[in-house]
Amino acid sequence: MDLGIFIPIGNNGWMISATSPQYKPSFDLNRAIAEKAETYGFNFLLSMVKLRGFGGPTEFWDHNLESFTLMAGLAAVTSNIQLFASVALPTLPPPIVARMASTIDDISNGRFGINIVSGWNQSEYTQMGVWPGDWYYDRRYGYATEYVQIMRELWTTGQSDFKGEFFTMDDCRLSPRPKAGSVPIVCAGQSDRGMRFCAEYGDFQFIIGSEDVAGTAADTERLLGHAADTGRDVGPYALYFVITGETDAEAQAKWDHYREGADLEAIAFMTGQANLDVSGSTAAKITELQNIFALNIGKIVGSHASVAQQLDELAAINGLKGVMCIFDDFIAGTEDFGQKVMPLLRSR
């Protein structure tokens, strides 16, 4: 089973909470995580693209580095690990992104791939005048299809005359090209249309891990169904929070503490529920929000042995290629996982 890390390109990682570790993103932080990840044999790192945060007292995701330039920096200081940067399609033309990928492919000696973000959060794009219009919601995967076809043409042949509905190339050129003739494409759309797109054009697909193994197995199955239709080999990776402690109770107490600090204002902004009362009694709401504060991403919480066992259960899912981890504290979490969980994993 492959293991990866969703590195914190934005402040506070993936917990919308005032009681989880509070930090700003920096190159030094992500470099330290990348170095530990290589030391302990993780297979890949992914950074997201996020262009506008949710505010609130924790200023959630109001601070984000840029994905490709961060990965270019990490490419220069690592030597084995696979690196993925994310592109928000409405923000950049495909030949530019193809060239950015060729450049990082060169820096990393062939360890680079692209996460395709078709674009779903309109405010990230309207703020800079690049939202294509509301028609885009329905046609974003058609747009993504042309986008990836152009990049692949440029990578494999160095030239494109692609004429489509959204893009027109006119003897467009690219050189140098990636060493292996192409770079891997990963996608993370959760809709059927998104998965279908990945089955047609992607190499790996991220699915949001479920609390129960059966849920993750069902999503894996859904992706593999699309892949069977297209006849392509597409590897599903499941995304999970991994919170360890010396005992199950200690790990669970950490999680509960983070949940109690949920930043309701930032969550209200994210969910667009303007009428969510962030000033009233919070106990019931926090319970209701217990997964929202962690973005509804599944969690693996427990002692080192119990985390290893839960990961081994996931590894037994037919077709699942790996797990991408989110830690509360990424430096301590990567270190702790590498030292105390990695050696217990039967699936490794």
Residues at the interface with ligand FMN (CB under 6 A): 48-50, 86, 88, 115, 117-118, 120-121, 188-191, 194, 206, 208, 239
At closest approach, how far in Å is the CB of 116 from ligand FMN?
A: 8
At closest approach, how far in Å is the CB of 284 from ligand FMN?
A: 28
For residue 330, give the 3-state DSSP assignment.
helix
Task: Choose between 295 and 344: whose C-beta lies nearer to ligand FMN.
Answer: 295
Q: Which residues pair with 112 in a beta bridge?
A: 83
Estimate to the nearest angstrom the gap between the alpha carbon of 240 and the chain centroid: 11
Distance between CA atoms of residues 222 and 118, nearest Å: 20
Encoding tokens for residue 157? 């042949």
What type of residue sits at position 306? S
At closest approach, how far in Å is the CB of 192 from ligand FMN?
A: 8
What are phi and psi for residue 120, nearest 5 degrees?
-130, -20
At closest approach, how far in Å is the CB of 35 from ligand FMN?
A: 22
Indicate the DSSP class of residue 58: T
E-state strands within the chain = 2-6, 44-46, 82-88, 112-117, 159-160, 172-173, 185-187, 204-208, 235-245, 299-303, 322-326
At closest approach, how far in Å is the CB of 334 from ligand FMN?
A: 17
165 neighbors 142 (Cβ within 8 angstroms) = yes
Query: Among 146, 236, 166, which residue's Cα sits nearest to residue 199?
Result: 236
Task: Choose between 91 and 252: whose C-beta lies nearer to ligand FMN.
Answer: 91
Encoding tokens for residue 116? 């395709």
195 neighbors 222 (Cβ within 8 angstroms) = yes
At closest approach, how far in Å is the CB of 120 from ligand FMN?
A: 4
At closest approach, how far in Å is the CB of 126 from ligand FMN?
A: 14
